[in-house]
Chains A and B, each alone.
Chain A
């Protein structure tokens, strides 16, 4: 077995195991940690396919930023396992149907395109041209309008999220640090010279 193949099977095994643990772990933080591991392994698989920009991108964005904020939220949740388990059996039929439909759809889409793909069909990187550079060139020339459109959609999402959670600032007593630094002693304290009075 080639070295690359061995690495691929190792990463895939870790990916599958981590994904299973995401949905079976009882502790929400442990589940989130396995999701991180799954992203990391997926990045490794992409790196094997010579898609180094995607591989580093998923680690930089999902592992490095998104999941940290996710963990923030999950750690502060007050989850009661028993309450979550209530009604498991009554929800199961509906959940199973939705799950099966999703599996069937994914299978229909993916099997047509990918089940018969050989490793040799993967596009090979052209020597001397950086993957990242090629991707950047395509995004900012041929696909510049869809790309800009996507960024505008993201911007709208950001503004919407801020608008939903925005509370008008309460009148606070916070100080401007620049003003605090600029203050002189004589603005605050007045030193009076009082001649001592003579006692008789």
Chain B
């Protein structure tokens, strides 16, 4: 491996750092896209089983090639551009939706050292990048030159902004007790504690002392990604969403963005509250496999919620965000602050 690296370094010369960084980006994005494709398949299977159906089983063994067939279908479909729409912004919007979902992965750590850019303010970076996802939605609604899409875009954008506040407060408590904005350090701080010393690491993770914040972050994450039961963006049966005018690959990009965001939120929940790559019990080693397991579990929750809960009404959604979550966050912020100043501070 080292000799191969040295050989490549010699061949590329001064542009080697650029090439090497690009290679690392591809190594993150390509598996992510594959995971997105198979998440759609897994979703249809899981919901099928929960509703006593079979789910997709025609293409390939056990239907495993279904997402590839879907991708090819969407690629070959015509992209209809509505007349009098703003063509540039209409075509730019899907990209603006997908790009933040991918850019945030630059600072996501997979273990102590396996991270593309280990910057000090990585949590802030994730918040900043995630807050830009709303532009794809708001612009697609506006550029479509359609009243339905416009109102749908406004609705989704208002929903995302509302829940971003609750998410931000949940993150503030995490960085208070971690005393750091660095995601690697936030995970490493969860290694310490009374329970971790006795081999019960999973009780030392942030989810237990920050239980209300954990629940709020998870639910806000579902609302933020426009997933059921908060999927007012595309409630197929009753309401028209911001991507009403999109077809073919342009629509598929919104779809990819939604699923990439789901994986991103699940990874963040795992890192911030569930100890990232840390092993839950003392006698098993830490490793990247634990991170993937936790992410898969949170993703299963996403699908489970979709199969279980009826859709929220819009006013209920706003009430939950502004009148329930934000007050709880403010109270718990003070509770954590007082806790940290008291003699019972467990995060020293």
Contacts and interface: CB of A to CB of B under 8 A. Distances in A.
Interface stretch (A12-20, A61-69, A79-87, A186-194): A61-69
A33 interface: yes
A144 to B, nearest CB: 16
Given A33-B89, A72-B138, A72-B154, A60 B120 contact: no
Nearest to B150: A75
A130 B120 contact: yes
B131 A65 contact: yes
Given A68-B134, A132-B181, A56 B128 contact: yes
B125 interface: yes
A56 B138 contact: no
Nearest to B179: A133
Contacts of A36: 135
Contacts of A69: 161
A131 B131 CA distance: 22
Given A68-B157, A72-B154, A130 B121 contact: yes
A61 to B, nearest CB: 9
Chain B CB within 10 Å, residue with most, of A64, A130, A174: A64
B131 A53 contact: no
Contacts, number: 66
Chain A CB within 10 Å, residue with most, of B128, B129, B161: B128
B144 to A, nearest CB: 12
Contacts of A57: 124
A92 B41 CA distance: 62
B211 interface: no
Given A68-B134, A75-B142, A132-B181, A59 B128 contact: yes
Contacts of A30: 89
Interface string B86-126: 00010000000000000000000000000000011100110
A131 B119 CA distance: 11
Nearest to A125: B120
B138 A64 contact: no
A contacts with B: majority SS: helix
Nearest to B14: A3
Contacts of B120: 52, 130-133
Contacts of A68: 134-135, 138, 157, 161
A53 B161 contact: no
A92 B214 CA distance: 57
A177 B316 contact: yes
B132 interface: yes
Nearest to A136: B181
Interface string A33-74: 100100000000000000011001101100111001101100
B50 interface: no
A104 to B, nearest CB: 35
A75 B151 CA distance: 11
B127 interface: yes
A174 B132 CA distance: 34
A60 B161 contact: no
Contacts of B182: 130
B124 A56 contact: yes
Interface in A163-180: 174, 177
5 contacts: A52-B120, A52-B121, A59-B131, A59-B132, A174-B315
